[in-house]
């Protein structure tokens, strides 16, 4: 019994050890390992503007691939990491950064989610307060005609 479980346990452990490899295609990888490592570090800090919740290093989108190629081209051309980041930010704005700088033009990125959460909480609280404050309406008495119809329906059911 134990020998039958060993391959299964090893397979599970092997699958658990697998980590995501990212979306970098083999044809994008630079020959120089130092430049490739710098490109990977830069790519992990840039947001895919298509996926919006992934770095360009993890995204399979065509635009993310284009941005990865731009990063590598700039590094091969001799740009520093800061120059590469500035180049990309100049074209796509601060939104392309996974950690945008804290400045007046990015306040919406920093405070927008908090403002939306507060607005939602305010709306829910207002809804329930208004509902609790509204007087409960007493059910209206039946008219004579409605009573006759109800009696007739009840007699028909018997």
**pLDDT (tens digit per residue) in 85-143:** 999 999 988 889 988 888 888 888 789 999 999 999 999 999 988 877 767 676 778 88
Contact 47, 95 (CB under 8 A): yes
Same domain, 112 and 79: no
Same domain, 74 and 115: no
Same domain, 44 and 114: no
Neighbours of 62 (CB within 10 A): 9
Whether 111 maps to a domain, the answer reads yes
Contact 105, 95 (CB under 8 A): no
In sequence order, what are the residues at sequence separation of 6 or more whose Cβ sits closer than 8 angstroms to the Cβ of residue 41? 81
For 32, the domain range is 20-101
Question: Residue 12 forms beta bridges with which residues?
Answer: none
Q: How many domains are contained in the chain?
A: 2
State the chain's mean pLDDT as an integer. 84
Q: Residue 81, class by beta-carbon neighbours within 10 Å (0-12 exposed, 13-18 middle, 19+ buried)?
A: middle
Structure tokens at 89: 């930010």
pLDDT at position 13 is 65
- In the chain, the percentage of residues whose pLDDT exceeds 70 is 82
pLDDT at position 108 is 86
Contact 84, 71 (CB under 8 A): yes
Q: What is the pLDDT of residues 55-64, one digit of tens each?
A: 998 888 889 9
CA 52/CA 74 separation, integer angstroms = 23
């Amino acid at each position: 019994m134990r020998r039958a479980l060993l391959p299964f346990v090893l397979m599970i452990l092997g699958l658990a050890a697998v980590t995501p490899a990212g979306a970098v295609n083999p044809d994008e990888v630079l020959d120089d390992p130092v430049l490739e490592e710098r490109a990977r570090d830069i790519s992990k800090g840039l947001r895919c503007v298509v996926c919006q919740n992934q770095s360009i290093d993890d995204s399979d989108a065509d635009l993310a691939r284009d941005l990865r190629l731009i990063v590598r081209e700039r590094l091969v051309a001799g740009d520093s990491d800061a120059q590469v980041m500035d180049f990309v930010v100049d074209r796509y704005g601060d939104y392309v950064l996974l950690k945008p700088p804290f400045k007046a033009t990015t306040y919406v990125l920093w405070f927008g989610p908090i403002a939306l959460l507060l607005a939602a909480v305010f709306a829910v609280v207002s809804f329930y307060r208004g509902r609790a404050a509204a007087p409960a309406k007493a059910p209206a008495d039946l008219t004579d005609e409605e009573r006759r119809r109800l009696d007739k329906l009840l007699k028909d059911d018997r």
